[in-house]
RNA sequence: GCGAGAGUGGCGGAAUGGUAGACGCGAAGGUCUCAAACACCUUUGGUAGUAAUACUGUGUGAGUUCAAGUCUCAUCUCUCGCACCA
């Protein structure tokens, strides 16, 4: 019937030749910046999931262009990272070559879909011209005291003798050899993201992120307000400071627990009578992975410190101190006050080790479980008689503050960002270590610090980055004193390159700076950013942190990088499970493109269901969409030479529906509306050119190739990509007549076609005279009549 | 455990508090054909009825309302995110 392959190639060529989708940095039009999360070009090629989000945002971008905006809709590649490194090691090639191949495949696949990206702005995070600026920005962090080195645990496989990423050590076992992963301490570069916890939280108010995404961010930042309280250690000058959100329960504190890594253990060494036992416990928990330690339902373990006691500052009682690995060193102060009566974990611990449980909040049954609700305070000295939590907390903190035993404190779960990876395939951290001068930044004139072109970059067996083994590369001179020095061999994490890429798109070829002031000011914020839910926490936080920092040092105009952040749902296999090779339910988008065309695939993926929800693949559904496009194509055979709209009301209604639905990412109902329009057109003997033009214009953002071709074949006007988005007249969306619904006591008893201009009285009169309605109301008392103009009449009888 | 979201035909899914099931798929019957495929037409939540129509129906149970898939409360189930965070 028509050769979709030929048509799609033709228009893709046309757009490319005409540079239709190239954004201009000096346009009089209003700007609009549409961004999709750039892909990691894996060896497997494009996934149908990519097609869903790319098409959705493509439709938005295309519509915005027709509406007269200067649209920036770019794409690039997030190509550093482990899979490429491992693939390259396995095949004995350089990762950059592997990446080059993969990008080629991805690019071709994406181009065949007819996504309106501005390919002139394409780059990869692995391009030296790009990572030069990633390194440059790292040095800005360093310059402003936000990058520092600290000892941190890494996941370590004692068998393979290499450091592992969290992904490689999931479940607490090494992905390669299956042995259990331990923690090994190593000096690492860190970024002080914790300093930005509050701005990252309040900044959300300046965005229109989807609510679920805001929530994910808020949870991850994990703000909690409370106090740091000082507990004296009996018979010493030492103190233990704990963080708590519940100072009101202080009288219920019957013991303390400190983390095995807590430094006070060393300080109190001579006082602790069972120090050997403590050391054993420390070793034991060191060998546990984070995973094991955090495993729920696990029985609590701990060791009591013999010979030392703390003093409860509320009632001066001596209480036991325990070491337990359920207390984490990296949150709060690494020590807690335990209130077994009102905390599950403390309750469990106290029960196991026979520690007293003192109830201080009334309302539960503490013989059975910890009580966590509100209630009047009891057994609580100065707090007795207070009924609310807020008041009790305040009273207690004020009481302790006067004695210098407490300070109000806000804590965040958000930690500093571990910015080092012991890997080859990442941006080298541009620092040099000199024995004389310490850490010295690489001068910006010497950026980028390039990755060496070597053949061997297997991980070393001492936990260092593979770069450490490349002596030629490591040995350098100190930029400060000129003496011999060594390069930092750690590389940046995968998240680095994606933490500012949207800025580079604004001015991708600039070799003076990461993006010119003019470009940054012109494009400003990303108006609409789309990505997966899996990146709604970490990537989004890193990107916002990075941008807020650049803003604070005056390099970018906006504090928040993204106005809207939306998330698409996943596309599952036909069996409702996640697509995977092993399950054999993978659909390759390019098979579909070859078989039924890009337009059919695009239309189907937009029609598949609610954009935000996951959806299962259905080949029959796909065929239905292909059928729809075929029917649109056949409309060409029924054009008459009349002018105007044959179905004016419906046309205006459809423009309205499609316009609003694309704005709200309700593509499925937009397409449904177009199907309705088509169904009605088909019922006519023939339609006008305008009728056809309006349908294909509205369909164009979703199925751009076939609509352009129909437009050209029938001389309907200039190419659709150069035309304008239709507007609707609200008054024309209302028909002259409508079907009035008549209910009796809320149940539909009749329908009648009436004029839209009918008055309430007229509507009621008609309603009462419907035969079936009469059957219900005759002889009954009419209590009242509710009449909704242009809709319905409800007669309430007794 | 905490947080977010969702439960509607055989399936994917529509419904500013106002006709539940739009649109699509599938299925059944028909037209075309030697036949099939394609295409086209008709029907399609369930029960009863030739039909008009009636009853019933949005996870479950209450409630608010003239009117509830939609609002409120309770409850169950599922999905996702976070999780020994003090």
Taking only the tens place, the pLDDT of each residue in A638-666 is: 999 999 999 999 999 999 999 999 999 99
Q: How far is residue A424's CA from residue A458's CA, in Å, rounded to a whole number? A: 8
pLDDT value for A795: 92
Residue–nucleotide distance: A620 CA to B75 C1' (Å): 38
pLDDT value for A51: 94
A763-785 per-residue burial string, b: 16 or more CB within 10 A, e: under 16:
bbebbbebeebeebbeeeeeeee
pLDDT value for A292: 63
Nearest residue by alpha-carbon distance to C1' of B22: A672
Q: Are A101 and A94 in contact (CB under 8 A)?
A: no
How far is CA A422 from its chain centroid? Answer: 26
DSSP A102: H
Q: How far is residue A493's CA from residue A476's CA, in Å, rounded to a whole number? A: 23
Q: How many CB atoms lie within 10 A of CB A544?
A: 23
Nearest residue by alpha-carbon distance to C1' of B13: A609
Long-range contacts of A536-539 (CB under 8 A, 24+ apart): A536/A212, A536/A213, A536/A216, A536/A217, A536/A565, A536/A567, A537/A216, A537/A217, A537/A219, A537/A220, A538/A220, A538/A495, A539/A37, A539/A495, A539/A498, A539/A499
With cut-offs at 50, 70 and 90, classify the pLDDT of residue A290.
low
With cut-offs at 50, 70 and 90, classify the pLDDT of residue A752.
confident
What is the mean predicted confidence (pLDDT) over A395-424?
Answer: 92
pLDDT value for A777: 86
Q: To which residue do tokens 């009102």 refer?
A: A342
pLDDT at residue A797 above 80? yes
What is the mean predicted confidence (pLDDT) over A142-158?
Answer: 86
Q: Are A503 and A522 in contact (CB under 8 A)?
A: no
Q: CB within 8 A of A338, min separation 6: which ones?
A: A253, A254, A255, A256, A257, A346, A349, A350, A355
With cut-offs at 50, 70 and 90, classify the pLDDT of residue A291.
low
Long-range contacts of A592-596 (CB under 8 A, 24+ apart): A592/A48, A592/A622, A593/A8, A593/A112, A593/A113, A594/A5, A596/A4, A596/A622, A596/A623, A596/A626
Q: To which residue do tokens 């960002």 refer?
A: A417
Q: How far is residue A513's CA from residue A172's CA, in Å, rounded to a whole number? A: 43
3 state DSSP class of A529: strand
Using CA atoms, how far residue A580 sits from A39, A327, A430, A436, A588, in Å, is: 18, 38, 39, 54, 11
Q: How many CB atoms lie within 10 A of CB A77?
A: 23
Residue–nucleotide distance: A154 CA to B35 C1' (Å): 71
A84-118 per-residue burial string, b: 16 or more CB within 10 A, e: under 16:
bbebbbeeeebbbebbeebbebbbebbebbbbbbb
Residue–nucleotide distance: A610 CA to B28 C1' (Å): 30
The nt closest to A615 (CA vs C1′) is B12
Q: CB within 8 A of A618, min separation 6: which ones?
A: A574, A608
Q: How far is residue A786's CA from residue A100's CA, in Å, rounded to a whole number? A: 69
3 state DSSP class of A491: strand
pLDDT value for A297: 52
The nt closest to A537 (CA vs C1′) is B81
Residue–nucleotide distance: A787 CA to B9 C1' (Å): 31
Considering Cα of A508, then A513, then A516, then A519, what sign does the dihedral take?
A: positive
3-state per-residue secondary structure call for A210-242: CHHHHHHHHHHHCEEEEEEEEEEECCCCCEEEE
CA torsion, points A725, A726, A731, A735, in degrees to nearest 10?
Answer: -130
pLDDT at residue A529 above 90? yes
Residue–nucleotide distance: A46 CA to B12 C1' (Å): 24
Q: Which residue has the higher pLDDT, A594 or A459?
A: A594
**Helices A619-634 and A689-699, packing angle to 10 deg:** 150
Residue–nucleotide distance: A31 CA to B60 C1' (Å): 51
The nt closest to A620 (CA vs C1′) is B25
pLDDT digits (tens, 9 = 90+) for A439-459: 999 999 999 999 998 877 877
Nearest residue by alpha-carbon distance to C1' of B15: A669
Using CA atoms, how far residue A649 sits from A28, A29, A47, A315, A791, in Å, is: 35, 32, 40, 79, 17
3 state DSSP class of A63: helix
pLDDT value for A213: 87
pLDDT value for A170: 62
pLDDT digits (tens, 9 = 90+) for A32-56: 999 999 999 988 889 999 999 999 9
With cut-offs at 50, 70 and 90, classify the pLDDT of residue A172.
low
Which bases of strand B have any atom within 7 Å of the beta carbon of a protein residue?
A: 3-5, 11-16, 18-20, 22-26, 38-41, 52-55, 66-68, 79-86
Long-range contacts of A168-171 (CB under 8 A, 24+ apart): A168/A82, A169/A289, A169/A291, A170/A291, A171/A291
Please provide the size of chain A in residues: 798
The nt closest to A626 (CA vs C1′) is B24
Nearest residue by alpha-carbon distance to C1' of B52: A772
**Tokens linked to A609:** 């269901």
With cut-offs at 50, 70 and 90, classify the pLDDT of residue A78.
very high
pLDDT at residue A16 above 90? yes
What is the mean predicted confidence (pLDDT) over A462-486?
Answer: 91
The nt closest to A219 (CA vs C1′) is B82
pLDDT at residue A508 above 90? yes
Nearest residue by alpha-carbon distance to C1' of B65: A746
With cut-offs at 50, 70 and 90, classify the pLDDT of residue A366.
confident
What is the mean predicted confidence (pLDDT) over A584-600?
Answer: 92
Residue–nucleotide distance: A153 CA to B26 C1' (Å): 56
pLDDT value for A90: 84
pLDDT at residue A723 above 90? yes
The nt closest to A786 (CA vs C1′) is B66
Q: How far is residue A661's CA from residue A673's CA, in Å, rounded to a whole number? A: 10
CB-side exposure of A136: number of CA atoms within 13 Å? 19
Mean pLDDT of chain A: 91
Helix, strand, coil tally for chain A in percent (to 5):
40, 20, 40
Q: How far is residue A122's CA from residue A193's CA, in Å, rounded to a whole number? A: 29
The nt closest to A290 (CA vs C1′) is B84
A313: nearest Cα among A412, A409, A244: A244
DSSP A442: P
Using a 10 angstrom Cβ sphere, with 0-12 exposed, 13-18 middle and 19 or more buried, the burial of residue A211 is exposed
Q: Are A208 and A221 in contact (CB under 8 A)?
A: no
Kind and range of the H or E element at A304? strand A303-311
With cut-offs at 50, 70 and 90, classify the pLDDT of residue A309.
very high
Residue–nucleotide distance: A657 CA to B15 C1' (Å): 14
Residue–nucleotide distance: A47 CA to B26 C1' (Å): 27
pLDDT at residue A76 above 70? yes
pLDDT value for A710: 96
The nt closest to A333 (CA vs C1′) is B86
Residue–nucleotide distance: A120 CA to B12 C1' (Å): 38
Question: What are residue A530's DSSP bridge partners?
Answer: A36, A566
A440: nearest Cα among A452, A450, A448, A431: A431
With cut-offs at 50, 70 and 90, classify the pLDDT of residue A501.
very high
pLDDT value for A463: 76
Lowest-pLDDT choice from A257-261, A711-715, A775-779: A775-779
DSSP A732: G
Q: How far is residue A499's CA from residue A750's CA, in Å, rounded to a whole number? A: 61
The nt closest to A297 (CA vs C1′) is B84
CB-side exposure of A15: number of CA atoms within 13 Å? 25
Nearest residue by alpha-carbon distance to C1' of B68: A746
Residue–nucleotide distance: A794 CA to B55 C1' (Å): 20
Q: How far is residue A551's CA from residue A241's CA, in Å, rounded to a whole number? A: 36
The nt closest to A661 (CA vs C1′) is B14
Q: How far is residue A703's CA from residue A114's CA, in Å, rounded to a whole number? A: 9
Using a 10 angstrom Cβ sphere, with 0-12 exposed, 13-18 middle and 19 or more buried, the burial of residue A265 is buried
pLDDT value for A185: 80
Question: What are residue A768's DSSP bridge partners?
Answer: none
Q: How far is residue A690's CA from residue A14's CA, in Å, rounded to a whole number? A: 24
pLDDT at residue A296 above 60? no
Q: To which residue do tokens 């923690």 refer?
A: A183
Question: What are residue A35's DSSP bridge partners?
Answer: A529
A413: nearest Cα among A193, A200, A203, A223: A223
Residue–nucleotide distance: A156 CA to B28 C1' (Å): 64
pLDDT value for A491: 94
Residue–nucleotide distance: A588 CA to B53 C1' (Å): 52
A33: nearest Cα among A155, A161, A121, A143: A121
pLDDT value for A151: 85
């Amino acid at each position: 019937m028509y050769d979709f392959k030929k048509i799609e190639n033709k228009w893709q060529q046309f757009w490319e030749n005409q540079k239709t989708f190239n954004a201009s940095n000096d346009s009089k039009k209003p700007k609009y910046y549409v961004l999709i999360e750039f892909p990691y070009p894996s060896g497997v090629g494009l996934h149908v999931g990519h097609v869903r989000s790319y098409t959705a945002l493509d439709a938005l971008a295309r519509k915005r262009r027709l509406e007269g905006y200067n649209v920036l809709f770019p794409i690039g590649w997030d190509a550093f990272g482990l899979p490429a490194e491992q693939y390259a090691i396995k095949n004995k090639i350089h990762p950059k070559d592997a990446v080059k191949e993969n990008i080629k495949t991805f690019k071709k696949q994406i181009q065949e879909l007819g996504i309106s990206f501005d390919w002139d702005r394409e780059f990869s995070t692995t391009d030296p011209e790009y990572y030069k600026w990633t390194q440059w920005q790292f040095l800005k962090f360093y310059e402003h005291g936000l990058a520092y080195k600290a000892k941190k645990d890494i996941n370590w496989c004692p068998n393979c003798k290499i450091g592992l990423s969290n992904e490689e050590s999931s479940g607490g076992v090494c992905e390669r050899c299956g042995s259990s992963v331990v923690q090994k301490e190593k000096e690492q570069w860190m970024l002080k993201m914790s300093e930005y916890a509050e701005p990252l939280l309040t900044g959300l108010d300046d965005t229109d992120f989807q609510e679920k995404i805001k929530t994910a961010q808020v949870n991850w930042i994990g703000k909690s307000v409370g106090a740091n309280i000082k507990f004296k250690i009996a018979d010493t000058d030492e103190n233990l400071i704990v963080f708590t959100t519940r100072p009101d329960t202080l009288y219920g504190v019957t013991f303390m627990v400190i983390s095995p890594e807590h430094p006070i253990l060393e300080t109190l060494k001579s006082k602790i009578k069972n120090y050997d036992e403590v050391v054993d416990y420390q070793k034991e928990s060191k060998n546990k992975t984070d995973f094991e330690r955090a495993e729920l339902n696990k029985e609590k373990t701990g060791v009591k410190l013999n010979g030392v006691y703390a003093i409860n500052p509320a009632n001066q009682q001596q209480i036991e101190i325990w070491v337990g690995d359920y207390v984490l060193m990296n949150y709060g102060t690494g020590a807690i006050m335990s209130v077994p009566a009102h905390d599950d974990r403390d309750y469990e611990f106290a029960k196991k080790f026979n520690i007293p449980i003192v109830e201080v909040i009334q309302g539960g049954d503490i013989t059975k479980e910890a009580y966590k609700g509100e209630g009047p305070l009891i057994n609580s000295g100065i707090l007795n008689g207070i009924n609310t939590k807020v008041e009790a907390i305040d009273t207690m903190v004020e009481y302790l503050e006067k004695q210098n035993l407490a300070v109000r404190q806000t804590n965040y779960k958000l930690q500093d960002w571990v910015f080092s990876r012991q890997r080859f395939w990442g941006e080298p951290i541009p620092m040099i270590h000199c024995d004389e001068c310490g850490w010295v930044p690489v001068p910006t004139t010497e950026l980028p610090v390039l990755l060496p072109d070597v053949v061997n970059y297997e991980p070393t067996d001492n936990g260092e980055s593979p770069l450490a083994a490349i002596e030629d590369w490591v040995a350098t001179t100190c930029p400060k004193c000129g003496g011999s020095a060594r390069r930092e061999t750690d590389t940046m994490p995968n998240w680095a390159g994606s933490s500012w890429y949207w800025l580079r798109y604004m001015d991708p070829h600039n070799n003076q700076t990461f993006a010119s002031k003019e470009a940054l000011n012109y494009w400003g914020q990303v108006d609409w950013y789309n990505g997966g839910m899996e990146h709604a926490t970490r990537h989004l936080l890193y990107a916002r942190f990075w941008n807020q920092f650049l803003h604070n040092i005056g390099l970018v105009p906006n504090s928040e990088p993204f106005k809207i952040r939306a998330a698409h749902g996943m596309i599952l296999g036909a069996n409702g499970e996640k697509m995977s090779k092993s399950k054999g339910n993978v659909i390759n988008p390019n098979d579909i493109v070859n078989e039924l065309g890009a337009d059919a695939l695009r239309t189907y993926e937009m029609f598949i269901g609610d954009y935000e929800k996951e959806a299962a693949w259905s080949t029959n559904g796909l065929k239905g969409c292909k059928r729809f496009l075929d029917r649109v194509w056949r409309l060409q055979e029924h054009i008459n030479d009349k002018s105007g709209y044959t179905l004016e009301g419906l046309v205006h209604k459809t423009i309205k529906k499609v316009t609003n639905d694309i704005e709200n990412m309700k593509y499925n109902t937009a397409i449904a509306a177009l199907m309705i329009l088509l169904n009605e057109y088909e019922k006519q003997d023939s339609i006008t050119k305008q009728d056809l033009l309006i349908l294909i214009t509205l369909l164009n953002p979703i199925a751009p190739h076939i609509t352009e071709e129909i437009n050209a074949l029938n001389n309907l006007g200039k190419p659709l990509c150069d035309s304008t988005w239709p507007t609707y007249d609200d008054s024309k969306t209302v028909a002259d007549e409508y079907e009035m619904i008549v209910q009796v006591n809320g149940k539909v008893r009749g329908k009648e076609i009436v004029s839209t201009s009918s008055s309430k009285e007229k509507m009621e009169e008609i309603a009462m005279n419907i035969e079936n309605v009469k059957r219900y109301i005759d002889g009954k008392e009419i209590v009242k009549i509710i009449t909704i103009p242009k809709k319905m009449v409800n007669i309430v009888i007794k």
